[in-house]
Structure 1
Amino acid sequence: MLMGYGLFKQLLAPLVLGAALVSAGAPATAAPSPAPKEPQRLILAFGDSLTAGYGLPATDGFTRQLEDALKSQGLNVRVHNAGVSGDTTSGGRSRLSWVLSSMKQKPDLVILELGANDALRGIDPKLTRANLDAILTELKSQNLPVLLAGMYAPRGLGATYYKAFDAIYPELAKKHNVALYPFFLDGVAADPALNQRDGIHPNKAGVAVIVKRLAPHVRRALQGSGARVAR
């Protein structure tokens, strides 16, 4: 026997209400857990005024522009500025151990940029080579990957000098099996539009050019892919 529609509604109402309450209390399909964030990688930029950002606000200097560029490419990095204006390879060699011991985190990569002041002062290339060799040996002993940023000597010093000086970087990169960026100031040196009034230190636009050219080498060095010596 069929019951009346009114009675059917009265009997069904508690069931519908209970189902609604259960539905409201139950969580929706669980959202997927966010992917674990890539751990931050630390890059130690060890060099002279070109690394330090001489004559520029901190936001326009090499280390900040490089960090921003790498972050824009999706890399979680921090670039530590260990540049000292006026530093020679001798100065860098003497302070390397202190810099490394003072860091709370072991660097994932060291960008080694030294030698420009040696050339400007006409320091014997043999001494420059010995200092850079010692620095690379120390970094290697601590299992720190290195991107060696090369430098060219001014041509006004004569062929004998600049040929001996220029050869230091590729030869040491090969000896220590580290990545090489042949000329740190590539695309910037001798261009008035990209340098400060002294004609030596890059301006903000000049640093941007350096970073644009160097960043792919830094990325490869961090990822551990590609040839160890850039061509």
Structure 2
Amino acid sequence: MKWLVFVLLMSASGGGMGTLLAQTAGEGKKRILILGDSITAGYGLAREEAYPALLQKKMDAEGLPYEVVNAGVSGDTTAGGLRRIDWALGQRGADVLVIALGGNDGLRGLSPEQTEKNLVGIVAKARAKSASIKILIAGMQMPDNLGPKYVESFKSVFPKVAESQKTELLPFLLEGVGGNEKLNQADRIHPNAEGQQKIAELVWPKLKGML
């Protein structure tokens, strides 16, 4: 059975661990695991408003035999994702892995080199479980106030990993959402319900093309 890994980035949540949401669409369906942070977890929103749940609705509407599992944990980093990827995959594993992590790395000023190493490690662990797993890495970008050198170095990590590890790439998970007051909650970090819809619309074409 093919495995598709899609890695999603998390944003800063101010600490704490979010709730792992598993959306099961029935027996016999293939599995899409979204490994992410508070953006994926849907911080501040109802579970059904987070983009993984919205992607599930799109799957169901088109009659695609996939279940979407939301493995978003608020405050998580790529190091946290590396520690929990085996647990998140579980015995069933996944057909698709979306890696949406790294946002918290950047907001904490962590080394881009370490973020890169952690992402490569997540990919390696996923493929160790299934060599045919498909992987999508969702990139993240930092605000300009962190300095141009760091911002560019951080941004370059995701396409670099995608190229070296031969995975699919979504250049920026928050394209059109990050920095837009109308699409974010009062903290200006976490997408609101409309922002989550925009993320789902951005992810969907890329994800659908991998199925």
TM over 0.5: yes
TM-score by length of 1: 0.76
1:139 counterpart (115, 119, 126): 126
Asked if residue 160 in structure 1 is aligned to residue 160 in structure 2, the reply is no
1:96: which partner in 2? 85
2:111: which partner in 1? 124
Give the partner amino acid of 2:99: L
SS of corresponding position for 2:174: coil
Cα distance between partner residues in 1 of 2:141 and 2:154: 7
Q: CA RMSD in A?
A: 1.4
Contact kept? 2:100, 2:137, Cα under 8 Å: yes
**1:58-98 deviations in Å (ceiling 9; x for gaps):** 11112111111222223122110111000011111111122
SS of corresponding position for 2:178: coil
**1:36-58 deviations in Å (ceiling 9; x for gaps):** xxx52210010111111111101
Task: Give runs of aligned pairs for residues 1-231 of structure 1, distance below 5 A.
Answer: 39-100=28-89, 102-103=90-91, 105-141=92-128, 142-143=130-131, 144-222=133-211
The structure richer in strand per residue is 2
TM-score by length of 2: 0.83
Contact kept? 2:86, 2:126, Cα under 8 Å: no
Cα distance between partner residues in 2 of 1:185 and 1:66: 16
Give the partner amino acid of 2:108: R
Unaligned runs of 5+ in 2: 1-27
Paired-residue identity, %: 39
Larger Rg: 1
* Equivalent residues, number: 183
The structure richer in helix per residue is 1
Cα distance between partner residues in 2 of 1:88 and 1:177: 22
More relative contact order, 1 or 2 (CA 8 Å, 6+ apart): 2
Unaligned runs of 5+ in 1: 1-38, 223-231
